[in-house]
Every structure is written in C-alpha cells, then in structure tokens.
Amino acid sequence: MVTWETPVKPAELAETRLVEAILDGSFPVNSNLPPERELAEKLGVTRPTLREALQRLSRDGWIEIRHGRSTRVRNYWQEGNLLILSAIARHTETLPADFIPNLLHIRQLLAPEYTRLAILNSPAEVLRLLQSMQSLPDTAADFTQVDLSFHNRMTILSNNPVFTLILNGFGELYQSMGLLYFSLSQARDHSRSFYKKLLSSVMANDVYQAEEVTRRVMAESIDIWRLTTFKEAQ
C-alpha cells in the first residue's frame, strides 16, 4: 500500500525557516525582523502566508509583534516557554553547545522523582519491566530504544502526566543523541549497571535507594555524554 507524505504547508515552511534563522543568529535576539514585504520575498511566500507564520511564532514566544512598529525577536531563553524548548530540540543542527548537558541536568532532577513515584504506585510492573531489561542486545540502537521506553513508562507509572509530556517533547532528540551516547561501550555498560542496581532496589522494596541510584546514575551520564562529544569532535 502506498503511503503518501503530507506536503509541508507554506506557512509551516516559513515558520521553520524563521526559527532556524533565529537560532543560527541570522535574526539575533532583540533585533527587528525586516519589513513584511521584504521578509516575504526572502522566504518566497505571500504576505498573508507570512502573517500566519508570524502569528504562530508570536504565540510560541519567538517574536513580539508590535503594531505600527517592527517585529522584535524575543530573548527566547528568558521569555520563552516549553514550546520553545521543544522546537529547539527538533533543530539539532543549530543546538547550542550546552543545550544537551543542561537538558541532562534537568533529567537528573526529574528522573529520581518519577522513578520513586512509579515504584510506589506500581512496584510489580516496575519489577517486570526491569527484569525484561537485564539482557539486551549490545547495540546503540537497542539501548536507545529500550532506555527511552523505560523512562517513558516510568513517567506514566508516576501518575504525573506532566513528566510524560516533558519527556515526549524531546523524543526526536532523545533518539538522535541516544544513538551517539550508546555508541560508547562505556555508556552501555553504565546503563546495564543502572538497570541491575535499580532492579535490586525494587526487589528489596527500598524506594529511597532506588531514588538515590537513579540520581547518581543520571549525574554520571552527564560526564559520559561529555566524553562522547569529545570523541566525536576528534
């Protein structure tokens, strides 16, 4: 059966190009965008299409539309929201150098809590999940998929849907960075050790040990990521 790809709408294409231009510094923070006519010509779209794209960018916090004055590029790090964060994560070619380490720091804060809640709410299911993860194929692709599925399931079992929404917002980035991260045997060994220690904590019914194990491992993963990117740069 033929699968038809949905064509990208002109407004969506214009929106994507403008976000890329903001992220790569072509339109710096606190600068003004060119007049509508000029900008529409640069993007190859009509002015109504451009206005639609600008309204979306304004809604998401990228720009400030000022009637009678030039449209300003917002300081999206200080004036943005989770929609901004998710959009940045999708533009992997323009990610700031410290974006992923900062993201991993956030995971270090969140993962121990949703792990603790998941074990408290559904210890039997967490136990079954961890038992199924004790023997994994030694490939970056398998570890990436299993690790993402694990954290996703733990957020769901925490019964706090905000954890899941945050994680889902970085699904695409998680896939790409996971393949790089788990290309290191050290990273795969580190995760194997984590799954084993977490399983032991759950079997001992020690939720606070599980929380501490998770916190420590999430911190160590930041150092491994830095090692991964260092090797990639060589």
pLDDT one-digit tens code per residue, 131-152: 999 999 999 999 999 999 999 9
Do residue 135 and residue 198 come from a single domain? yes
Give the chain's domain count: 2
* Other CB atoms within 10 A of residue 231 CB: 11
Do both 42 and 143 map to the same domain? Answer: no
Q: DSSP per residue over 84-127, as a string?
A: HHHHHHH-GGG--TTHHHHHHHHHHHHHHHHHHHHHHH-HHHHH
Q: Are 157 and 117 in contact (CB under 8 A)?
A: yes
Among the candidates 89, 108, 137, a domain finishes at 89
- Please state, in angstroms and rounded to a whole number, the distance separating the CA atoms of residues 199 and 133: 10
Give the tens place of pLDDT for each residue, 162-186: 999 999 888 888 888 899 899 999 9
Please answer whether residues 18 and 12 qualify as being in contact, where contact means their C-beta atoms are separated by less than 8 angstroms: no
Predicted TM-score (pTM) above 0.85: no
The CATH code of the domain that includes 202 is 1.20.120.530
Regarding whether 163 and 108 lie in a shared domain, the answer is: yes
Length of the chain: 234
CB neighbour list of residue 153: distance below 8 Å, 6 or more residues apart: 118, 129
pLDDT at 77 over 70: yes
Measured distance CA(223)–CA(210) in Å, rounded: 21
Domain membership of residue 194 (yes or no) is: yes
